[in-house]
Amino acid sequence: MGGAIVQQYIAEGHRVVSFSRNYHPWLTKIGVRQIQGDLQDAAAVETACKGVEVVFHTAAKAGVWGPWQNYYGPNVTGTRHVIAACLKRGVQRLIYTSSPSVVFDGNDQEGIDETIPYATTFHAHYPATKAIAEKLVRQTAVSDLPAIVLRPHLIWGPRDTHLAPRILARGHRLKEIGNGANKVDTIYIDNAARAHLLAEKKLAEDRRLSGRVYFISQDDPVPVWWMINAILAAAGRPPLKGRISIPAAGRIGAFFEAAYHRLGIAQEPPLTRFVVSELSTSHWFDISAAKNELGYRPLISTAQGLEKLSAWFGSMNSLRQ
């Protein structure tokens, strides 16, 4: 997400500073000044914000497994540090990348908009800590720091380091859960990045948007298992085989969670109850607010995005040969 925003921002003629734990040679090639550091280091975050007009805060610890502190540190403490640095260094606008999972309660969510309340119970540490962080940004935006929160859902595309790799790693043993009718929203990476740039521009024009939250997506809900198979196909992999009922998948997830906890295994189990609920329910959104207030429209269709993803997978395979 951060890399795609940087590319589009550079293309518009802006000067960009990036802050991340690792050095990325391709960023230097396109003229980005890089600063290495950790979000949990307040001084490092403040240094990165010096002389900066706008901050896009996209970094987070994502996932469905691991100790609470592994998520709370980057997602909550890190966001506190970003807010504090923005205020101290006089940053004029903050665009924060959140997640629709902050409102996901384990049930179908079809055509919901931003009026839906936060979930009261979370089944993984990632959405729980993202909800805390999002609230911090919104609270600050009301009085001190102009900020907008975006909730992109299931970001995918070239250079994906999260969704596609998880699907490819599990594709050979993954089975469809439920009847396959549940639909989800996704968003192609370039569309998501463009939404962030639009949010920044609109906030600069109208500070009354500060504190607002927007769902952003392809505006094209698709069956979740169709999308998973489409990503597998883009990578040259065969489609999934077999199906399992939701109750049976839930029992398997609970078994793995208990076993991994008991044995102290740090790596993510093959299946968890949170993943089962994500894969077996519908979650798609009414993005009218983003359309009307930010001027957002997905410029790259799902079909076009899948073609681009397939081409990228092909180029990666060529490099390995």
In the structure encoding, which two tokens stand for residue 130, read together?
């993202």
In the structure encoding, which two tokens stand for residue 143, read together?
């009085």
Residues designated as active site? 126
Q: Cα torsion at 257, 227, 63, 24 (round to 10°)?
A: 150
Collapsing DSSP states into helix, strand and coil, what is residue 40?
coil
Please tell me the predicted confidence (pLDDT) of residue 162: 85
Residue in the structure block whose two tokens are 């979000």: 39
SS (H, E, C) 180-198: CCCEECCEEHHHHHHHHHH
Please count the CA atoms within 13 angstroms of the CA of 212 that sit on its side-chain side. Answer: 19
Please tell me the predicted confidence (pLDDT) of residue 317: 67
Q: Are strands 93-97 and 54-57 parallel, antiparallel or unpaired?
A: parallel
**Residue 71 falls in which region: left (phi positive, over 0), alpha (psi -120 to 50) or beta:** alpha
Domain count, the chain: 1
Predicted model pTM: 0.94
CATH code of residue 35: 3.40.50.720
Domain residues for the domain of 65 are: 2-320
pLDDT in tens, the chain (321 residues): 999 999 999 999 999 999 999 999 999 999 999 999 999 999 999 999 999 999 999 999 998 899 999 999 999 999 999 999 999 999 999 999 999 999 999 999 999 999 999 999 998 999 999 999 999 999 999 788 999 999 999 999 998 888 888 888 887 778 899 988 999 999 999 999 999 999 999 999 999 999 999 999 999 999 999 999 999 999 999 999 889 999 999 999 999 999 999 999 988 898 899 999 999 999 999 999 999 999 999 999 999 999 999 999 988 766 565
Which residues face 276 on adjacent strands? none
Please tell me the predicted confidence (pLDDT) of residue 319: 59
Sign of dihedral through CA atoms 184, 297, 15, 86? Answer: negative
